[in-house]
Structure 1
Amino acid sequence: MPTILLQTPIEASPEICYKLSLNVDLHKISASRTGEHIVAGVASGIMKLGDSVTWRAKHFGIWQTLTTKITFAEPYVQFVDEMTQGAFKSMKHEHFFEPTGTGTVMKDVFRFQSPFGLAGRFFNHLILENYMREFLIERNRQIKEIAESNLRNRFL
């Protein structure tokens, strides 16, 4: 199962980083290049434990739908979102927020499985793992940029 590990230092508190990471309005901005938009579930603001959202976006030239649910939440420390419906065979994204002397290290552990057995594993290795890594890096770049600016108040 491919696993993507990221660490993003942010000069903001764990509370701010946690809330921004759960904000669907901010996610829409970070995923704008794929035309990602909400078609069901939490339509705006900050998600919480038990909430779900269904996204529609164009990846690899194909419109796809993905529903995720917040399955675990320990405010300002960690939360987990998992796919309940979508193109992956499975997907789990763990988010960790560790305080530092200058703010927070936001850590992502993103695990996914593609369908289609050996062909899916081949696609993961050649294309999908790097694609998802870049997608998450852009998401984290947007969170960092907003967390470290006065714009953060728009999303909190």
Structure 2
Amino acid sequence: MMASSGISIGYLADRTGLAVSAIRYYEAQGLVEPWRNDGGQRRFHRADIRRLSFIMIAQQIGFSLPEIRGFLKALPGGRTPTPADWAKISEGFRKHLDQRIETLVQMRDKLDGCIGCGCLSLPNCALYNPHDRAAQKGQGPRYLMGDRAETENDSE
């Protein structure tokens, strides 16, 4: 139910399609900040409907909760975000999406050559990782994570 002093967690769950337990989890993660009314009930801002919708979309795209928390820090507390506030947050979100798209395109384009070894810094990849150079860049699939493979000419 809606009240002049905010909305209930049940109403918020109905509007967003989230379970009450999920909303409480997001609260524990610092993604929404309800307050308690005189009767001790959680109350949320109407703007939390949009905030929770953003969280659901961002998770569906593959963003982690810490990343989402970082985006949401740009929104004002204690008032409904304006279109300008959301435009600011979307700029940073867009940059992250562009980076993810670029990584996926690189992965797609290199998949044929790398599917056998996975670029996990294996010394037997003469094409992308001669002499196990990728190991010097760190753990994991370095070239799929955005590191560039050095050619023989680069090291001279």
Whether TM-score is above 0.5 comes out as: no
Which structure would you say has the larger Rg? 2
Higher fraction of helix? 2
TM-score range, shorter chain: under 0.3
Higher fraction of strand? 1
